[in-house]
Amino acid sequence: MSPAPEIGVAVFILKNDQILFGRRRSSSIGAYTYALPGGHLEFGESFEECAAREVKEETGLEIKNIEFLTANSFVLSDKVHLVAVFMRAHLSDPEKAPQNLEPDKCEGWVWHDLKNLPEPMFGPLRKMLDDGFNPFPTESK
């Protein structure tokens, strides 16, 4: 029987014109690609709770104005089917820098401009951005 789809929540943390990315390590899917902070939805969690928890666990940052943006279904192989929920948020304290709190999973966190995104990017995210998805509120562009 095929495994169940996994539900991930990924967060576009926006600071001025920039987005926070981390390069994934080899142990999980999307090895060595740049992705957003995020992780798997736990039983009973809202998307907002999952976003805040994963961002705090991975970067030490607290986020506010957490909003749902979109969701996508990606079949990556005959074993991996992801349902990715994309959220947007801002830093509670814009002066605070991200820490790499899970160095076994991530090489470090860096802010990138939407016009100068890091490569290679995690496949599902690359596809969304190539399709023209823009996580910034329309009034700020």
Ligand X SMILES: Nc1nc2c([nH]c(=O)n2[C@H]2C[C@H](O)[C@@H](COP(=O)(O)OP(=O)(O)OP(=O)(O)O)O2)c(=O)[nH]1
Task: Report the interface residues with ligand X, using CB under 6 A.
Answer: 6, 8, 10, 28, 35-36, 38-40, 82, 84, 105, 122, 124-125
Buried b (16+ CB within 10 A) or exposed e, 15-35: eeeebbbbbbeeeebbeebbb
Count of residues in the chain: 141
Q: How far is the CB of 90 from ligand X (least distance, A)?
A: 18
Do residues 70 and 124 touch, judged by C-beta distance below 8 A? no
State the residue number with the nearest CB to ligand X.
Answer: 8
Q: Token pair for residue 72?
A: 């996508």
In whole angstroms, give the CA distance from residue 63 to residue 54: 11
Q: How far is the CB of 60 from ligand X (least distance, A)?
A: 15
Cβ proximity to ligand X: between 6 and 62 the closer is: 6
Cβ proximity to ligand X: between 35 and 66 the closer is: 35
Q: How far is the CB of 136 from ligand X (least distance, A)?
A: 16
